[in-house]
Amino acid sequence: MNVSEALEKRKSVRAFTNKTVKQELLEQVLTSASHAPSGVNTQPWQVAVLSGSKKQLLQDKLLEAFAARQEKKMDYQYYPLSWSEPYKSRRRECGMQMYSALEIAREDKTKQIEQWAANYRAFDAPVMLLFYMDAELQTGSYLDYGMFLQSIMLAATEQGLATCPQAALVEYPEIVKDVLNLPSDSQMICGMALGYEDVDAAVNSYRTQRAGISEFVTFFST
């Protein structure tokens, strides 16, 4: 599989089989991703890999906070406070595609909440990755992190694995830091579900659309 094929094949998977991901395979994916670029070679990424009882413990605590309607407070502002076009429409279409695939009606708030709760289980993937960095690092390191995360997802795709990057897994950063015994001022970046795709699951049956380059590229020449 070449890079172009991996880019086109990768998608956010929200249902996984219970097949175990071998430790050697995880190490191979992360080693490949470690070659991602970073400003002055800072390599700001730090990764917690959770499975088994540790994953269960964290997801139980996250689900408990969600059910109790505990305030979500990420370590940084991920989304805009108000949405404008074209982002508003893209966001709405993304949600509509998922709920349509699951046959969840717009007015069925109970099922929508149940589906959102699946975020905190990492969609039942066997592996949950959590990404963080030292407090002293700044905005440029977030850019570095994006390249690292994409590298993980492409390397995973090459190995027949599926992924879903998730901001939701760090919506309660204090819980994550407590369970993993991280410094309280660590910057939680995001999480990621990783495992083998359940190809028969309805939620994995759709693909979000991508804008053509004419919508976001301007060529400048003499």
**133 neighbors 187 (Cβ within 8 angstroms):** yes
**169 neighbors 122 (Cβ within 8 angstroms):** yes
User: How does pLDDT run across 143-169, given as a tens digit for each residue?
Assistant: 999 999 999 999 999 999 999 999 999
| 219: in domain | no
Please tell me whether the overall predicted TM-score, pTM, comes out greater than 0.85 for this model.
yes
Is pLDDT above 90 for 65?
yes
Q: Domain containing 54 — which CATH number? A: 3.40.109.10
- Output the average pLDDT for the chain: 96
- Residue 106, pLDDT score: 87
- Give me the mean pLDDT over the 30-39 stretch: 98
The pLDDT-based confidence of 222 (bands split at 50, 70, 90) is confident
- Residue 60, pLDDT score: 98
Structural domain tally of the chain? Answer: 1
Is pLDDT above 90 for 136?
yes
| 176: in domain | no
- Report which of 174, 175, 168 is spatially closest to residue 190, judged by C-alpha positions: 168
Is pLDDT above 90 for 71?
yes
Separation CA 115–CA 57 (nearest Å) = 20
Percent of the chain exceeding pLDDT 90 equals 95
| 220: in domain | no
| 212: in domain | no
- Residue 194, pLDDT score: 98
- Give me the mean pLDDT over the 67-82 stretch: 95
**159 neighbors 28 (Cβ within 8 angstroms):** yes
Domain around 116 = 3-169+181-206
